[in-house]
Amino acid sequence: MIRFARLASTTLLFVVAVAIAGAGLARDRKSPAQKSDIAQVETARGKFVRIEPVVAHRGMVVTQERQASLIGADILARGGNAVDAAVAVGFALAVTLPKAGNLGGGGFMLVHLAKSHENVAIDYRETAPAAATADMFLDAGGNADPNKSRYSGLAVGVPGTVAGLTLALEKFGSGRFTLAELIAPAVKLAREGIPVEGDLLDSLLLAAPRLQRWPSTAAIFAKADGTPWEEGDRLLQPQLADTLETIGREGPRAFYHGPIADKIVSAVRAADGRMTRIDLESYWAAIREPVRGTYRGYDIVSMSPPSSGGIHLIEMLNILEGFPLKSLGAGKPEALHLMIEAMKLAYADRAEYMGDRDRVEVPVERLISKAYAAELRAGINPDRARPVESIRPDSSALGGGGNTTHFSIIDEFGNAVANTTSLNFSYGVGLVAGDTGILLNNTLDDFAAKPGAPNAFGLIGGSANAPAPGKRPLSSMTPTIVLKDGAPVLITGAPGGSRIITTVLQVIVNSIDFDRPVAQAVAAPRVHHQWRPDAVLVEPGVPAATRRALEKLGHKVEAGPLFGAANSIAVTPEGFVGAADSRAAGALAAGL
């Protein structure tokens, strides 16, 4: 059995773990001129967070949380492959990053298998219960009711994480570790506790009013007198430890068929939800074909529906391929303008066409085709912003970011994992299911409550993404692997709600078009446009002169917060280079 004490005592012998790293993509598998410059992320308060290079040769794990990264690196050091490490990391994050890591949520995993050159997508997105109806999130007047879709039991989808992680291990793990062995570090952390500090402390304070709505949640995430945890306290999760230990011993059936399932159902129904035991017993994680595209000689492999991420990432890249971005310059208004115009077109298509491909017809091949991109490109004016009404005349409200987390892993054999998982909001709906320690999601808000009604991220959709029994809501999660000659050169992805797809787009463009080392590609200030509302959201680091130039081109520019942490790995002739995005406090690249 793995012991975290052993991990702590041996990590220094084999793990290089530094905040963030940088190295450029190797064009044609040859080494470019490497830059070791320290990259920086500018915060909203004008401060800068350093991004320092990390290079390793036997494997790399990059996550949003330090202990999870070290656990994944320990699995690699003990002979596990990238999938083994991903499973251990996924369960650890349920303990150490409770706002986003989870057992009660879902997500998507992309796997590259080095030996067979196969690329596989695992869909463990949550599903709507069998009693779901198209009008379940409407009030008596037929209007979308956010309280129903975000803060009640109706918002809770059937969780997919346990099914997804265990399916990945069964199909693609090395066979060196049992499920119990991979879960053991998470069990130990939950039972012995983790310090309340940094990002955990901040997130608990911000979410306190919602967490304290539910007695089962307040009993864990607040003190006995109801006051919030303070810095220096220790968060113990013994109930979650018991649940994890049961899953490790009995497998996923314990989650979907046993007493744990009964407690999930009871909690959801007590909160006015519609989930039943049959909904849990019927859940399945799916192995799907990823979507694939090409960009300037690289192969792009990303997530297929019910995520919109891969399709619209490739759609935007196809549009941009026809423009000379490199000659325009990294971060220059003219280059950003073209990216923004491509974003508008892709997000308008997202609202029109996207949904669960198992239930609705999604024109995937057309959306990712070069010919379609050429049609869209022809409508872009390099000198003037296009009014969104000329694309599609619907409206929406500006949305914020959610709490999702992404991690990237590669092993010494070249197997790679890009995994994005979420509870939707920070701590999901905020409800812990009975005495299981499991925080439940509010992912069903990602459905379109009614055509044209925005979700919490300002994204709108049509009937293709309406609630229905057993249906998976549309997602923006975009785990992505970039290949050259069949081998990974970049593993990336991000959290951030509606901003996920544009974040991944900019990491790739920064790497390929602008030859930026991966740390700089990740650190560069980002922009975002999601078609509706007609506004460009910019990170604090975008210079004032650039903002003014974009406004002169006809864009409405709004200051935004930092976008999600795009934890990424570049594969170069010098080694694996991890970039733990410092937009997330505590992110760590751990390499062997």
User: Which has more confidence, 253 or 353?
Assistant: 253
- Active-site option among 166, 246, 404, 420: 404
Q: CA-CA distance, 136 to 449, in Å (whole number)?
A: 8
Q: What percent of the chain clears pLDDT 90, i.e. is strictly above it?
A: 80
Residue 169 falls within a domain, yes or no? yes
**For the segment 34-53, what is each residue's pLDDT rounded down to a tens digit?**
344 568 877 766 667 666 65
* Residue 484 near residue 299, CB atoms below 8 Å: yes
Known catalytic membership, residue 404: yes
* Predicted confidence (pLDDT) at residue 18 exceeds the cutoff of 50: no
Residue 358: the pLDDT is 72
Which residues are within 8 A (CB) of 2 and not within 5 positions of it... i.e. 6 or more apart?
74, 75, 181, 182, 184, 185
* Predicted confidence (pLDDT) at residue 575 exceeds the cutoff of 50: yes
* Predicted confidence (pLDDT) at residue 458 exceeds the cutoff of 70: no
Q: How confident is the model at residue 351 (pLDDT cuts 50, 70, 90)?
A: confident
Residue 268 falls within a domain, yes or no? yes
Q: Which residue has the tokens 């529906």?
A: 305
DSSP designation for 105: S
Question: From the CB of residue 28, how many other CB atoms can be counted at a distance below 10 Å?
Answer: 8
Query: Quick one: average pLDDT of 260-283?
Result: 98
Residue 581: the pLDDT is 95
**For the segment 363-412, what is each residue's pLDDT rounded down to a tens digit?**
999 999 999 999 999 999 999 999 988 886 654 433 334 579 999 999 99
Residue 438 falls within a domain, yes or no? yes
* DSSP β-ladder status, 416-424 and 106-113: antiparallel
Residue 396: the pLDDT is 43
Residue 46: the pLDDT is 66
Query: Quick one: average pLDDT of 146-151?
Result: 93
For every residue of 41-76, DSSP letters joined together read: EE-TTS-EEEE---EESSEEEEESSHHHHHHHHHHH
Residue 135 falls within a domain, yes or no? yes
* Residue 562 near residue 51, CB atoms below 8 Å: no
Could you tell me how many residues make up the chain?
592
Both structure tokens of 535:
């506004």
Residue 120 falls within a domain, yes or no? yes
Q: How confident is the model at residue 204 (pLDDT cuts 50, 70, 90)?
A: very high
Query: Quick one: average pLDDT of 174-190?
Result: 98
* Residue 100 near residue 565, CB atoms below 8 Å: no
Q: Give the Cα-Cα-Cα angle 414, 415, 420 (nearest 5 degrees).
A: 130
Residue 208 falls within a domain, yes or no? yes
Q: Number of structural domains, the chain?
A: 1
**For the segment 445-454, what is each residue's pLDDT rounded down to a tens digit?**
999 876 655 5
Per-residue 3-state assignment (H helix, E strand, C coil) for 473-518: CCECCCCEEEEECCEEEEEECCCCHHHHHHHHHHHHHHHHCCCCCH
Query: Quick one: average pLDDT of 24-41?
Result: 46
Residue 160: the pLDDT is 98
Residue 452: the pLDDT is 56
Residue 224 falls within a domain, yes or no? yes
Which domain range does residue 144 map to? 4-14+68-287+428-449
Residue 16: the pLDDT is 47
**For the segment 298-326, what is each residue's pLDDT rounded down to a tens digit?**
999 999 999 999 999 999 999 999 999 99
Average pLDDT, the chain: 89
Residue 141 falls within a domain, yes or no? yes
Residue 137: the pLDDT is 93
* Predicted confidence (pLDDT) at residue 87 exceeds the cutoff of 60: yes
Q: What percent of the chain clears pLDDT 70, i.e. is strictly above it?
A: 87
Residue 455: the pLDDT is 53
